[in-house]
Amino acid sequence: MRKVLLLNPPGDRLYIRDQFCSHVSKGTYYWQPLDLLMLSARLDADGYELAVVDAIAERLSAEETHARIRRFAPEAIVFLTGSDSFHDDVRFIEEAKRRGAEVAVGIGDILREKGDRLLMRHPAIDACVNDFVTHGLHAFLQGNLEAAENMTVRSDTAVRKVPAIPRKKTFRMPSPRYDLFALDRYKMPFNKYHPYATIITSTWCPYGCSYCPFARTPYRVREVDDVLENLEHIRRMGIRQLHVADWTFAVDRRQAKAILEGMIDARFGFTWSCLSRVDLMDREMLELIKSAGCDLIELGVESGTQELQDRYGKAISLDQIRRAFRWATALDLPTLATFVFGLPGETRETLEQTLALALEIEPTYCSFNVASPRMGTRLRREMIGEGLIDDDDHTVLDSSRSLPVFSTPELSAAEVLAFQKRAIRSFYLRPSYIARRVKRLGSWIELQNHLGNGISLAWQALQSAKAGRS
């Protein structure tokens, strides 16, 4: 089996099925599917003939997608899925197999959490991949089920999980086949240049946030020279915008410093973004990140009350939050602060404290999200145990665009939604903020991104208001 199609199935919304988290794009942005990028790197190195069809990014209908599949005539399809779109994805894969595809392998949050049960229920799915860095997929495609590590596989007689093999704390990864992806169709909301490329310097996360599907998952770092080789490959492609898609950049301080110093020495000249934590950032690290070309660092704040920070395992202090944003502001390093509203235990008072903190630390951007009991999280298990959600109800997992769909003894879903809207208005509609953003616009692409996402967010707010009244 040598011909493999990497597929992001079609859908009626901008489904982002990525890194075992699924949701709907808040605006006009749609980022590159890291799962498929990393699988393209591994499969290409193993000598497979590859094609990529991203039906969401390319806005393909189901029939247009089937036509693309037919032209390539793959022996196997590796497809993205997610809790938001799973049933539609399965129907599409069933039809693809009726039209000739031999093998279908899925990857996504719902399969990682419930793969054995779902494979029993849906015979069109032959296996699922539970990690795109450990590489059991090659063994599976060659019929060696015993070596299909970190996968759930179907044999002639049963469905079973093949465990991961213990590995070193470092890994190497070939450069992805960026050329197979429709790079012109991917946009991130704060990019200055287009197109861009995605890389990783580590996998997963050692921290214990109870609302994250990768809390305390095996953290591994990529060899420094391997990262720099990937960056050199991107430079030769003529791309100048990057996104470092690590769940948490710079957990390993020594590795992060070596990469940043290597980027500076090589004079790559990239503009790039990343995600990290306030307790990993001091002035020295932020200065190095800035010197290496970073123009946006995303930092999880989540709540403005220490009680909720502690309850949900974020393990940061309000003082650490204030210091990190104060240093970033002093260095003129743009920041994106993320917040979560409506976790069990949230009250009107704690919501106000969180908004007050957002206005105090003055990040460049804020992302105000509603709590989502995602697949694989301790939060989800606790909420199921308390009867707040039903384990078979997958409509409650999109924190980005859907209405809040669960209430707690302290707050109703309607109250959380109303506060989310108020927070967005309070932060973004201040005349002083608008003036600063206009002054800082650095490119035509950046202006287009802001206008497009602003219009989309306004439209979504209108649709949410209509839904709330219905």
Question: Looking at residue 466, what is its pLDDT?
Answer: 44
Given a cut of 70, is residue 454 above it in pLDDT? no
Question: Looking at residue 464, what is its pLDDT?
Answer: 41
At 457, is the pLDDT very low, low, confident or very high (cuts 50, 70, 90)? Answer: very low
User: Residues 341, 427: contact at Cβ < 8 Å?
Assistant: no
Query: For residues 241 and 146, what is the distance between their CA atoms, to the nearest angstrom?
Result: 41
Instruction: List the domains of the chain with CATH numbers.
Output: 3-162 (3.40.50.280), 188-469 (3.80.30.20)
AA identity, residue 234: I
User: Residues 211, 341: contact at Cβ < 8 Å?
Assistant: no
Phi, psi for residue 179 in degrees, rounded to 5: -65, -20
Question: Looking at residue 455, what is its pLDDT?
Answer: 42
Given a cut of 50, is residue 401 above it in pLDDT? no
Distance of CA 128 to the CA centre of its chain: 19
Q: Is the dihedral of CA 383, 384, 388, 389 positive or negative?
A: positive
The string of pLDDT tens digits covering residues 172-209 is 999 999 999 999 999 988 899 999 999 999 998 899 89
DSSP 184: G
Q: Which residues in 269-278 are b (16+ Cβ under 10 Å) and which e?
A: ebbbbbbbbb
Question: Looking at residue 214, what is its pLDDT?
Answer: 74
Question: Looking at residue 52, what is its pLDDT?
Answer: 98
- What is the mean pLDDT of the segment spanning 159-169? 91
At 26, is the pLDDT very low, low, confident or very high (cuts 50, 70, 90)? Answer: low
User: Residues 201, 233: contact at Cβ < 8 Å?
Assistant: no
What residues form DSSP beta bridges with 318?
Answer: none
The residues, ordered by sequence, that sit 6+ positions from 280 with a Cβ below 8 Å of its Cβ are 248, 249, 250, 251, 253
Query: For residues 200 and 248, what is the distance between their CA atoms, to the nearest angstrom?
Result: 10
At 378, is the pLDDT very low, low, confident or very high (cuts 50, 70, 90)? Answer: confident
At 393, is the pLDDT very low, low, confident or very high (cuts 50, 70, 90)? Answer: low
Q: Count of alpha carbons within 13 Å of 238, Cβ hemisphere only?
A: 4
AA identity, residue 338: T
Question: Looking at residue 20, what is its pLDDT?
Answer: 83
What residues form DSSP beta bridges with 300?
Answer: 338
Query: For residues 178 and 188, what is the distance between their CA atoms, to the nearest angstrom?
Result: 16
Rounded to the nearest integer, the mean pLDDT of the chain is 89
Question: Looking at residue 449, what is its pLDDT?
Answer: 53
What residues form DSSP beta bridges with 244?
Answer: 199
Query: For residues 187 and 13, what is the distance between their CA atoms, to the nearest angstrom?
Result: 16
pTM over 0.85: yes
Given a cut of 50, is residue 136 above it in pLDDT? yes
Percent above pLDDT 90 for the chain: 71
Cis check: omega of the bond before 189, within 30 degrees of 0? no
Given a cut of 70, is residue 448 above it in pLDDT? no
| 3 state DSSP class of 131 | coil
